[in-house]
Amino acid sequence: MVVYLRLVMVLFALGMLIGCSKLTMENYRKIKVGIEYAEVVKILGKPDSCSEALFVRSCVWGDEQKNITVNFVNDKVMLFTSKNIN
């Protein structure tokens, strides 16, 4: 019984983590050209990675299979794309 209860708790916790993902089409649609980096972070949380080149900061939320990529110039959204976001 204790093993069963632990399994249920672990599965519930995993479900909550998966269900709480901010990589959703609803959140993707909130991103607009011109909004600031801080606003995107409010929507999606902290990015998983960022890089900078020639005054453009490119940030990625997610991984290679499922992600949202946003390019910023002067901390404002200039371009954004998604991959496998439902």
6 pLDDT tier (thresholds 50, 70, 90) = low
pLDDT at 12 over 70: no
How far is 43 from 23, CA to CA, in rounded Å?
9
What is the percent of the chain with per-residue pLDDT over 70, rounded to a whole number?
77
| Residues in CB range of 35: below 8 A, 6 or more apart | 76, 77
- More confident call, 47 vs 1: 47
What is the percent of the chain with per-residue pLDDT over 90, rounded to a whole number?
74
Which tokens go with 65?
A: 């299979």
Helix (H, G, I), strand (E, B) or coil at 36: strand
How far is 82 from 25, CA to CA, in rounded Å?
9
Determine phi and psi for 19, rounding to 5 degrees. -70, -20
